[in-house]
Structure 1
Amino acid sequence: RKVIRTVPSWHQGPAQYDCVYMSTDEAKDGMLGVDIACVYCFFSFTHTDRQIFPCALVHWFDWVADEPDELTGMWMVSLSFLQDGSQNFTVIHIDSIVCAAHLLPIFGDELVPSYVRFHNTLDVYRGFYVNCFADHHAFELAS
């Protein structure tokens, strides 16, 4: 069983917001049928007919290219922003979450600053590799 965390702080420590694969086009196979998003909170609401809708607030990522990086074999994403510069957030039904996603920063040629830690890489970097080698779910999606 996988756990997707959306924790603003745990025991006065840093926040942890996990990334996920989102099913966005069931007609397409593999990575062409999913997108990547970072989950910021889970919530639910009850509609007037008493049906409960479990939802999540997510920040989308944009694909950098239509194919994986030639050198690493991994797809690349960047944080998604709207035309006015605001973050591209959406409320989604949790049934569209496929599984957790593991992102690796695209470091470039510079040294990694000393203040960079696991909890702030999504804030420091703008480009990420989607780690298709993290587990068998990710590998199947990328294949």
Structure 2
Amino acid sequence: MRTEYIRACPLWRNEAPRYDCVFVNTNPELEGMQGFDVARVLCFFSFTVRGTTFPCTVIRWFDTVGDSADEDTGLWIVRPGFNPNRSPNISIIHVDSIYRAAHLIPVYGARFISRDLKFHHSYDSFRFYYVNKYADHHAFEIAF
């Protein structure tokens, strides 16, 4: 077993923010991406009630596009989630709901990308993302 770090920090290595994406176990009855949702971790925190500590995270949800993987690429497509009033879909969940880190690849489209785009803006600059099942063996087992 290896250790995996999921980061949420406003200034990573004194350069730019880093907010990692994760697979959240939302339906353990289903297999693969049917049982997981993708989210971006914005903050980790904990609180204590009557001697019990609850480790939590603030996340921004991604919505799955369609009911299956894209026919051309074999990859699932997600997009940033919004509430009915067009505000970002943000929630607080228990850390135990996080299964592991996820890697997203922007769906670039046909237009040129600005040379001013920085890597730390990539999750905020595109409308759709592929869930990269080729990031490693574990991601491949999840995102089928």
TM category, shorter: over 0.9
Is there any run of 5+ residues in structure 2 with no aligned partner, and where? none
Does residue 46 of structure 1 match 2:48?
A: yes
1:55-81 deviations in Å (ceiling 9; x for gaps): 000000000111111111100000001
Aligned counterpart for 2:24 among listed residues 16, 22, 25: 22
The one-letter code matched in structure 2 to 1:126 is R
Across the aligned residues of Structure 1 and Structure 2, the Cα RMSD in angstroms comes to: 0.9
Matched residues in 1 for 2:24 and 2:119: separation? 22
Compute the displacement of 1:125 (Å): 0.7
Matched residues in 1 for 2:104 and 2:15: separation? 21
TM-score by length of 1: 0.96
Deviating 4+ runs (over 4 angstroms) = none
Task: State the partner residue of 2:5.
Answer: 3
Task: State the partner residue of 1:55.
Answer: 56
The one-letter code matched in structure 1 to 2:122 is T
1:34-65 deviations in Å (ceiling 9; x for gaps): 00000001000001x21000000000000011
- Please identify, of 17-26 and 117-126, the stretch whose mean Cα deviation from structure 2 is larger: 117-126
Tell me if structure 1 keeps the 8 A contact 2:131–2:143: no
Q: Say which SS state the counterpart of residue 120 (structure 1) adopts.
A: helix
- Please identify, of 7-16 and 56-65, the stretch whose mean Cα deviation from structure 2 is larger: 7-16
Tell me if structure 1 keeps the 8 A contact 2:77–2:129: yes
Q: Say which SS state the counterpart of residue 114 (structure 1) adopts.
A: coil
Tell me if structure 1 keeps the 8 A contact 2:39–2:61: yes
1:1-143 alignment, distance < 5 Å: 1-47=3-49, 49-143=50-144
Q: Say which SS state the counterpart of residue 119 (structure 1) adopts.
A: helix
Q: Say which SS state the counterpart of residue 39 (structure 2) adopts.
A: strand
Is there any run of 5+ residues in structure 1 with no aligned partner, and where? none
Compute the displacement of 1:12 (Å): 3.4
Number of equivalences: 142
- Please identify, of 14-23 and 4-13, the stretch whose mean Cα deviation from structure 2 is larger: 4-13
